[in-house]
Structure 1
Amino acid sequence: MAEPLASLARRLGTRSWVMAAAPGIIAADQALHRWFGGRVSLVGLAGLPSLRLTTVGRRSGLPRSTNLLYFPHGADFVLTGSNWGRPRNPAWTFNLRARPEAEVAIRGRVTAVKVRELEGEEYRRMWAELLGFWPGYEMERAAAGRVLPVFVLSPR
C-alpha cells in the first residue's frame, strides 16, 4: 500500500500549493514525532523515507533536530537543502558545513554519520537521481532561485 501513497505524494510534491502549506505540514510532522517517540512521521505515512537529523548548532553549540525526507543511496542517506523553495538554505545545512557530523534517527533508531557536501560532476549525477526520486525538487529549486545543496551522510 505504501507505493501508491508514495506515488501520490511525489505527484503532489510538484504542486506549488504544497510549498505554501509547508508550515502546517511541518507542524503536523513534529507533532507526530512527539506523540509516537520518533517512530511515525508524516512523510513516512506517505510511504516515503523519513529521518530525523540532529546537528550541533554552529553558533549555539546545542543539538538541533529536524525531520526530513531523504533519498536512500546504498548505506548512505542523501539530503537536499530545498527549504520548501525558500530563498535561503535551511539552518541544518549551515550546521553540517560547520561540523560535518551528525546523527540520524529512523523510526527511533539512531545512527552516527559523517557528512560531505556534493559538488561538481558528483553533484550533477546525484541531482539527476534526486529528481527521479522526488520531482518536486526542480520546482523548489526554481522557486528558491538558488542551487539546492546536496549532502551525503554515511554511517560512521
Structure 2
Amino acid sequence: MIVASKGGYGRHPAWYHNLRAHPDTTVQVKAEILPVRARIADPAERRRLWPRVVRTYSQFEHYQQRTPREIPLVILEPRRSA
C-alpha cells in the first residue's frame, strides 16, 4: 500500500493520476522488480487501514487535517507478469 498524501497539499500527486490511468505497473523492493496492479482502497478498507497508516507515520494525520480532499490509500496487488 502507498499513500497519496503529497504532504496534505490540496491536489493529489501526479503519480496518483498516472496510476489511475495505468494501474498495471511495477515496483522495486530492494533488488526485485514486481508486477503489480494499483487500485484505490474502498471505503471499508480505508476505515480499517487508515489507523494503521497513522500508527506507522503519525504525520499522515496532520496531512489529512491540512487538506479538504480525502487522502487516497493505494493498494498494490501482485499480478502475473506478461
TM-score interval (norm. to shorter)? 0.7 to 0.9
SS at 2:44's partner residue?
Answer: helix
**Residue of structure 1 equivalent to 2:27:** 104
TM-score by length of 1: 0.48
TM-score by length of 2: 0.86
CA shift at 1:135, angstroms?
Answer: 1.0
- Larger RCO (CA within 8 A; separation ≥ 6): 2
Cα RMSD for the two superposed structures: 1.2
State the distance in 2 between where 1:83 and 1:143 align.
11
* 1:101 maps to amino acid: D
Say if 2:67 is the partner of 1:144. yes
Provide the identity percentage. Answer: 30
Aligned pairs for 1:28-67 within 5 A? none
Gaps of 5+ in 2: none
Runs of 4+ in 1 over 3 A off after TM superposition: none
**Residue of structure 1 equivalent to 2:11:** 88
Q: How many residues align?
A: 79
State the distance in 2 between where 1:126 and 1:101 align.
22
Higher Rg: 1
